[in-house]
Amino acid sequence: MDASTFKGSIVALACWRAAPAGLHQTQLAVCQVFMNRAKEGWFSGDLYENCAAFLAEEAVDVFPDPRDPQFGQLLSKLESVTSGLVTDKTGGAMYFLHREAVPEKLAGVVTTTIGNMVFFK
């Protein structure tokens, strides 16, 4: 394994952990949020560092089942998102919350809802 593969696996894990029961489209949208944060200079503008920081905050000890078809779809499409081939479907979102966790008064503007996640900035 090389450093690039390792970093890609951390990005995939962070996207999956943000929406473990979600569709791969939701997980890919989470990846776009991490990319938006990196573009804005969060964690030195590094996608890997943004994902690693998210994983450190969550401190959840669960991992995806590699046989899960949604996780397989995430892995097969992740590079298209991280390379910029796929347009940002989050509308430039910097944050995301599970739909049931969105407060009545959200400090931000909702940009879209994808699956069970609300994206906002």
Q: 3-class secondary structure for the chain?
A: CCHHHHHHHHHHHHHHHHCCCCCHHHHHHHHHHHHHHHHCCHHHHCHHHHHHHHHHHHCCCCCCCCCCHHHHHHHHHHHHHHCCCCCCCCCCCCEEEEHHHCCCCCCCCEEEEECCEEEEC
More confident call, 39 vs 104? 39
Q: What pLDDT, in 10s, does the model give residues 58-101?
A: 777 889 999 999 999 999 999 999 999 999 999 999 999 999 99
- Please name every residue paired with 99 in a beta bridge, in sequence order, or none if there are none: none
Angle 3-18/47-58 helices, nearest 10 degrees?
50
DSSP lists the bridge partners of residue 70 as none
User: Which residue shows structure tokens 């503008």?
Assistant: 45
Phi and psi torsions of 22, nearest 5°: -90, 170
Share of the chain above pLDDT 90, in %: 87
Percentage of the chain surpassing pLDDT 70?
100
Reply yes or no on whether the pLDDT at 110 is more than 80.
yes
Reply yes or no on whether the pLDDT at 21 is more than 90: no
